[in-house]
Amino acid sequence: MKRIHIVLSGLLLIGALSCKKFVDTPSPKNELASELVFTDDKTATAAMVGLYSNMNSFNYFYANVLMNYLTAMQADDLYYYTGFENYDVFLKNTLLPSSQYVQSMWRDQYSYIYHANSCIEGLTTATGLTPAVRDQLLGEAYFMRAFLHFYLVNMYGDVPLITSTDYKVNGVKPREKTGAVYAQIIADLKEAKNLMGSNYPTGSRVRPNKAAATALLARAYLYTKQWSLAEAEATEVLTNTQYQLLKDLNAVFLANSKEAIWQLLPVNTAAGRNTWEGFTSTPATPTGTPLFRLDTLNLIAKFETGDKRLANWTGFRKLSSGATVYFPYKYKVRTNVGAALTEYSMVMRVAEQFLIRAESRIQQDKLEDGRKDLDSIRVRAGLLPLPTNLDKSALLLAVEQERKVELFVEWGHRWFDLKRTNRSDAILKPIKGANWQSTDTLYPIPSDAIKTNIHLDQNDGYK
């Protein structure tokens, strides 16, 4: 698998670079979608697999620091050890349409969508592929298009919905309403479920399979308040014997852990790195201080006494001032020269599905069933089950709490949760202070995109 990623980097870099601003400025259809790339199983697999390595090849790329750390700073999880404007704008809610990472996250995600669309078009017309391989790859492409649109719509609100490689059409597309984007996300995920197999194509969990599409579909239904459908999809994952809520918290983020639904394979492992997350968050020496630090008051203090997640998923250092600072420690390996990879980047995991099902059940007044799902997460963390007399409102607050301490610094969960439950003002305004506005739940539309597409308008709060 690792060899495939490396061999393909040159081929797929052509597509990624030549069309990386295709929503901002017109770009020609490139070689990625040509017949040559999809002539056999090997080249077709190469075309699809290259997308995953492109997302995670270097530090401060979309799938590592940007989506895990900067979105956590937008909420109440994390801060940077010293003032740095490119990060502080997320922490202080002073984003501008010209902010570096606001622009790069828009540009990069649309570049990856172009890549997925190129694969959909190429695979749809390819004739020389093994049918099972073609279906799996096509399912992965639909899954990735849905996955990327999911993050765009939650970060920017109404966004252009891109389902082809036609640059003339894409370059002038207006923003689609959030509901229309979600409808396409759900349609793509249903198609992906039909096409992909239950097993992982390589054995390792580094390419999406049917369960990944099911898990993301459960999340999409949750976000669109389709409670019974969210419950059904989450249950489908949770009853699949390939997956397990691991008792050992330190095993959760290991490569191919049974809790993993989808991980990204590290591809830039120079100097003994495993994941960029572990390299970035873990101090370089036993006495070194961390760069990214967990919010002591708004996260660390919110763990209940005896919560094993605090002991196992956070690290700390004592500063010369006497203060104690904490850092994310879900990934333990900063560098391990000469050793085999032991950690992969987690994108989706089983614990989230318990929390999705819990919330969905509680919203349907299935209070006991929802509480039991929450207790599965709590007992794994060494906590007592919840009291049996909690009402619906109390149980929904318990869902919020468990999502906060379970999914911190993972793929924007905390920020998205506060926004989708209309809790952002209540939670973040007292923390962020005078800089906070209700419109800060969305990023601004990047200035480069607006300059090159007259049909794009700006989000409220940034005009």
Contact (Cβ atoms closer than 8 angstroms) between residue 259 and residue 246? yes
**Predicted local distance difference test score (pLDDT) of residue 60:** 80
Least confident of 131-135, 206-210, 333-337: 333-337
Q: Domains for the chain: give ranges and CATH numbers.
A: 2-264+346-429 (1.25.40.390)
Average pLDDT over residues 440-454: 96
Q: Is 401 helix (H, G, I), strand (E, B) or coil?
A: helix
**Predicted local distance difference test score (pLDDT) of residue 57:** 84
Residue pLDDT, tens place only, 82-95: 888 999 999 999 99
For residue 19, pLDDT over 50 is answered with no
Residue pLDDT, tens place only, 283-311: 999 889 999 999 999 999 999 999 999 99
Q: Which two tokens stand for residue 338?
A: 């000469």
Task: Give the integer Cα–Cα distance in Å for 185 and 21.
Answer: 22
Least confident of 28-42, 114-128, 333-347, 361-375: 28-42
Q: Is the pTM of this model over 0.85?
A: yes
Best CA proximity match to 178, nearest among 186, 168, 170: 186
Residue pLDDT, tens place only, 191-241: 999 999 999 999 999 999 999 999 999 999 999 999 999 999 999 999 999
Q: How many residues does the chain have?
A: 463
**Predicted local distance difference test score (pLDDT) of residue 36:** 53
Contact (Cβ atoms closer than 8 angstroms) between residue 107 and residue 24? yes
Identify any residues that bridge with 314 across adjacent strands, giving them in sequence order. 328
Least confident of 46-60, 111-125, 385-399: 46-60
Q: Give the distance from CA 421 to its chain's centroid.
A: 19
Percent of the chain predicted with pLDDT > 90? 85
State which amino acid sits at residue 436. Answer: W
Percent of the chain predicted with pLDDT > 70? 92
For residue 417, pLDDT over 60 is answered with yes
Mean pLDDT of the chain, nearest integer: 91
* DSSP E strand stretches across 64-112: 78-80
Average pLDDT over residues 44-63: 91
Residue pLDDT, tens place only, 136-178: 999 999 999 999 999 999 999 999 999 999 989 999 999 999 9
For residue 33, pLDDT over 80 is answered with no
Identify any residues that bridge with 294 across adjacent strands, giving them in sequence order. 78, 326
> Which single residue is written with the structure tokens 């397990």?
244
**Predicted local distance difference test score (pLDDT) of residue 326:** 97
Greater model confidence, 2 or 381: 381
